């Protein structure tokens, strides 16, 4: 992953994103920092209105819109299995999370390509 992280809050820049909850209700979150993963995919740390922090994987599209893909810290059952295996093999957890996040990016790219071909 790209190591360059831009801390918007430390530079007194207030940027907000709307992210849907489980039921589809949009909530406004303040961006704390943003870090490019690859191409137009980013990890974005956000702070909710009630003080909770979350890290989201987002795709920034060419028209200036963004698509929240998933919370980085929430793992599927398959990802949990990979994570647990990495722990047993004494693999660095950050390395395993990089692999998981890049797999999510590739899955989103594949879905976009399928949508374009139909």
The tens digit of pLDDT for each residue in 55-96 reads 999 999 989 899 999 998 889 999 999 899 999 999 998 898
Neighbours of 45 (CB within 10 A): 20
Pairing of strands 41-47, 26-38: antiparallel
Domain boundaries, given as residue ranges, for the chain? 5-117
* pLDDT recorded at residue 31: 93
Flag whether pLDDT at 1 surpasses 60: no
pLDDT > 90 fraction of the chain, expressed in percent and rounded: 54
Q: What does pTM read for this prediction?
A: 0.82
């Amino acid at each position: 992953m790209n190591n360059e992280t831009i801390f918007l809050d430390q530079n007194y820049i207030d940027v907000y994103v709307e992210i849907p909850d489980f039921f589809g209700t949009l909530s406004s979150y303040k961006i704390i920092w943003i870090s490019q993963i690859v191409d137009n995919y980013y990890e974005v740390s956000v702070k909710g209105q009630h003080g909770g922090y979350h890290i989201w994987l987002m795709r920034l599209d060419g028209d200036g819109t963004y698509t929240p893909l998933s919370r980085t810290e929430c793992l599927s059952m398959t990802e949990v299995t990979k994570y647990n295996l990495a722990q047993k093999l004494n693999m660095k957890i950050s390395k395993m999370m990089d692999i998981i996040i890049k797999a999510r990016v590739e899955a989103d790219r594949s879905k976009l390509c399928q949508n374009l071909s139909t």
